[in-house]
């Protein structure tokens, strides 16, 4: 029963984080704008990507459960499993249950998770969750090389891109580095096991390529995002720096997400920097102690932690910006990250382990001469104090992320329009306005959220995808963007676009009363549109 106590506690903590959202409605987060129905139309029309399998699984699950329930359950699992897998890694590396629990809790509750949750990066978080498990399985392979260990690791690495392509890339690079360090430091293993190790590597590589072959062929196609990624993406998504402590300390404190539209834990806690400093001191002590013990994880950290930190800081610093530019040019696949702050999740992994390892070492020194009965009391007290640190760093996660997140329903008018169009045999493609990739949704707390129209409506929708960012103007400006910008700015008339709309197969226009919809008053005066429905939230027009 003892070995399950940590899992039960993690479940309770995950439940406490999600408790404010256990009510009807969706969570509208920056990049997470889920809708009542999971659409597969993009995939079925030839746009298959790595996320197809996960989307299909959620679609099948939606026949049994409402989509808002699935959304919240997945977020609950992300928090729960992040603690569980980090706990298992810490236990594998000889931390006792109480210290391993502290390690898992830190990995579960920290500013990086806080920021990514608000950003709606659930796939990034999902990849982060499985990172400790992947490293644990590799270490298990080091300890007991054989077919069983290879198969377990191979299966995880094969399916990794299906739920988090960015973290799959990070994990592949990290595990490759770990493998090279292990072979370098273990001469006997290198002599006796290298052939089977290499054979296992190619077995895993074959598995990864086979499982992911269905989307790899279309990855470089015209519709793929990959060819459109440029260095401007990294400029757009630059790691943020703290105005007082700078970029390096901000990153080491596990902040740095590029968007600044939310309040962060440090905005509510003046001494955040002191807690961060304490965690860093404990982590440095733990790292030194493990390195002196000649443990393989200590060697790995000594070689890779600083490079990861430099890349994570990225363009927030002039020196590290040059490094990112170099990697963009020479490291295959690196440009796919698009932002370097994702690597801060690996820093969380190191700190979560070493801060607990360091705290355990200090406590052992402090109570070395204490009587046995008092040792246990003092040890448990120290564990309790150490466990408080992640709560102090990110306590707002337990209060609806400092009251910044609530559940909301879609307006009823959206469903009325959906049903009207579903019953209209003349429907082709539908133009959705306002033309924004991230409109401000007045029905979702006036938050800027990824445009949900394409996923909400069950027919082909043309909608804005632009980020309104100066660095991405050239990449974002497509034919539709140029036309819509000209019309909204009054340089062209919608009626003059009739032939363009016909060429694009547009039969209807939806104007949702969100964001700057007042700027689209010209739709009322258009001679090519008939208004067929309007309520307080939405207007539906049909081309004559």
High-pLDDT (> 70) share of the chain, %? 92
At 456 the pLDDT is 94
Q: How confident is the model at residue 472 (pLDDT cuts 50, 70, 90)?
A: very low
User: Is the Cβ–Cβ distance between 396 and 402 less than 8 Å?
Assistant: yes
> DSSP secondary structure string, 215-282?
HHTTTTSTT-SGGG--HHHHHHTPPP-BTTTHHHHHHHTT---S--SS--HHHH-TTHHHHHHHHHHH
386: nearest Cα among 357, 365, 407: 357
Of the listed ranges 90-94, 397-401, 521-525, the one predicted with least confidence: 521-525
For residue 138, pLDDT over 90 is answered with yes
Whether the CB-CB separation of 396 and 114 falls below 8 Å is answered with yes
Residues 93 and 140: beta-carbon distance below 8 Å: no
pLDDT, residue 142, reads 84
Give the residue among 468, 498, 168, 471 at the shortest CA–CA distance from 333. Answer: 168
Coil, strand or helix: which one is 35? coil
Q: Which residue has the tokens 């077919």?
A: 147
Detail the DSSP E strand segments found in 382-537. 407-408, 429-433, 440-441, 447-448, 461-462, 506-512, 529-534
State yes or no: pLDDT of 495 exceeds 90. no
Q: What is the largest CA-CA distance in the chain?
A: 90
pLDDT band at 410 (very low <50, low <70, confident <90, very high): very high
| Global pTM value | 0.93
117 C-beta neighbours (distance < 10 Å), count: 24
Whole-number pLDDT of residue 470: 42
C-beta separation of 464 from 436 below 8 A = yes
pLDDT at position 66, please? 95
Percent of the chain at pLDDT > 90 equals 66
The reported pLDDT for the residue numbered 162 is: 93
Q: State residue 340's pLDDT score.
A: 96
What is the number of other CB atoms lying within 10 angstroms of the CB of residue 202? 9
- Confidence category of residue 471, pLDDT binned at 50, 70, 90: very low
Q: State CA 117 to chain mean position distance.
A: 8
Give the model's confidence band at 230: pLDDT under 50 very low, under 70 low, under 90 confident, else very high: confident
Place of tokens 């005066």: 525
Alpha-carbon span 315 to 307, nearest angstrom? 14
φ, ψ of residue 379 to 5 degrees: the values are -65, -45
Residue among 321, 463, 309, 401 nearest 119 (CA): 401
In angstroms, the CA 147 to CA 149 distance is 6
What mean pLDDT is predicted for residues 392-398? 96
**Two tokens, residue 305:** 């932690």
Burial class (CB in 10 A: 0-12, 13-18, 19+), 459: middle
Q: What is the pLDDT of residue 191?
A: 55
Residue 3 has pLDDT above 60, yes or no: yes
Range with the poorest average pLDDT among 116-125, 321-330, 484-493, 501-510:
484-493
416-424, long-range: CB within 8 Å, 24+ apart, which pairs? 416/533, 416/535, 416/538, 417/457, 417/510, 417/533, 417/538, 417/540, 418/456, 418/457, 418/458, 420/532, 420/533, 420/540, 421/457, 421/459, 421/508, 421/540, 422/458, 422/459, 424/508
User: Phi/psi of residue 429, each to 5°?
Assistant: -100, 155
Interval 246-274 mean pLDDT: 94
pLDDT of residue 468: 57
DSSP label of 32: B
Give the pLDDT score at 500: 86
Band of pLDDT at residue 217, cut at 50, 70 and 90: confident
pLDDT of residue 49: 80
Q: Give the model's pLDDT for residue 149.
A: 81
pLDDT at site 47: 57
The answer on pLDDT for 7 being more than 50 is yes
pLDDT tens per residue across span 281-339: 999 999 999 999 989 999 999 999 999 999 999 999 999 999 999 999 999 999 999 99
| DSSP structure class, residue 405 | -
Task: Give residue 398's pLDDT.
Answer: 97
Which residue in 19, 13, 74 sits closest to 399, CA to CA? 19
Q: Each residue of 97-120: pLDDT tens digit? A: 999 999 999 999 999 999 999 999
- pLDDT, tens only, 61-79: 999 999 999 999 999 999 9
User: What would you report as the CA-atom Rg of the chain, rounded to the nearest whole angstrom?
Assistant: 26
Indicate whether 173 pLDDT > 90.
Answer: yes
Give 465's pLDDT tier (boundaries 50, 70, 90): confident
State the chain's mean pLDDT as an integer. Answer: 89
Q: How far apart are CA 48 and CA 43, in angstroms?
A: 5
Instruction: Tell me the C-alpha distance between 162 and 53, whole Å.
Output: 7
Q: How far is CA 505 from the centre of its chain?
A: 35
Nearest C-alpha neighbor of 39 from the set 456, 461, 462: 456
CB 183 within 8 A of CB 74: no
**Average pLDDT over every residue of 165-188:** 89
Nearest partner of 509 among 441, 457, 447, judged by Cα = 457
């Amino acid at each position: 029963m003892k070995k399950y106590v940590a899992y039960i506690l993690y479940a309770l903590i995950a439940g406490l984080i999600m408790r404010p959202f256990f009510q009807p409605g969706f969570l509208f987060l920056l990049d997470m704008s889920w809708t009542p129905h999971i659409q597969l139309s993009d995939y079925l029309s030839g746009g298959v990507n790595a996320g197809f399998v996960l989307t299909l699984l959620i679609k099948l699950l939606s026949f049994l459960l409402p989509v808002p329930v699935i959304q919240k359950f997945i977020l609950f699992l992300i928090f729960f499993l992040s603690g569980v897998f980090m706990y298992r890694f810490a236990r594998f590396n000889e931390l006792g249950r109480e210290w391993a629990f502290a390690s898992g809790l830190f990995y579960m509750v920290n500013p990086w998770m806080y920021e990514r949750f608000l950003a709606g990066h659930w796939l990034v978080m999902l990849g982060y969750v499985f990172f400790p498990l992947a490293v644990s399985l590799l270490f298990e392979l080091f300890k007991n090389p054989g077919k069983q260990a290879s198969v377990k690791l191979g299966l995880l690495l094969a399916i990794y891109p299906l739920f988090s392509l960015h973290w799959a890339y990070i994990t592949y690079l990290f595990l490759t580095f770990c493998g090279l360090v292990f072979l370098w430091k273990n001469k006997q293993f290198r002599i006796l096991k290298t052939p089977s190790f290499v054979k296992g590597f190619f077995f895993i590589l074959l598995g990864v390529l086979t499982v992911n072959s269905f989307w790899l062929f279309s990855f470089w196609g015209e519709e793929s995002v990959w060819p459109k990624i440029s260095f401007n993406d990294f400029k757009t998504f630059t790691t943020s720096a703290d105005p007082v402590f700078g970029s390096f300390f901000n990153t080491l404190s596990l902040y740095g997400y590029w968007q600044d539209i939310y309040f962060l834990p440090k905005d509510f806690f003046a001494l955040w920097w002191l807690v961060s400093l304490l965690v860093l001191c404990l982590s440095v002590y733990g790292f030194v102690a493990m390195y002196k013990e000649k443990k393989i994880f200590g060697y790995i950290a000594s070689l890779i932690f600083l490079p990861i930190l430099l890349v994570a800081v990225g363009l927030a610093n002039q020196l590290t910006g040059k490094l990112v530019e170099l990697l963009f040019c020479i490291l295959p696949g690196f440009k796919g990250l698009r932002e370097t702050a994702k690597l801060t999740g690996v820093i969380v992994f190191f700190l979560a382990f070493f801060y607990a390892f360091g705290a355990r070492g200090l406590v052992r020194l402090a109570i070395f001469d204490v009587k046995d009965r008092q040792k246990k009391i003092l040890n448990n007290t120290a564990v309790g104090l150490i466990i408080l640190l992640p709560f102090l760093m990110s306590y707002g996660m337990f209060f609806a992320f400092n009251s910044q997140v609530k559940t909301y329903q879609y307006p009823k008018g959206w469903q009325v329009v959906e049903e009207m169009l579903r019953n209209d045999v003349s429907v082709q493609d539908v133009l959705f306005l306002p033309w924004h990739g991230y409109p401000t949704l007045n029905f979702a707390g006036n938050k800027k959220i990824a445009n949900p129209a394409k996923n909400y409506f069950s027919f082909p929708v043309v909608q804005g995808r632009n980020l309104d960012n100066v660095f991405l103007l050239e990449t974002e400006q497509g034919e539709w963007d140029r036309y819509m910008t000209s019309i909204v700015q009054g340089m062209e008339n919608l009626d003059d676009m009739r032939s363009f709309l016909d060429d694009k197969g547009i039969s209807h226009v939806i104007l949702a009363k969100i964001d700057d919809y007042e700027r689209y008053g010209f739709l009322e005066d258009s001679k090519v549109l008939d208004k067929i429905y309007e309520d307080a939230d939405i207007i539906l027009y049909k081309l004559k």
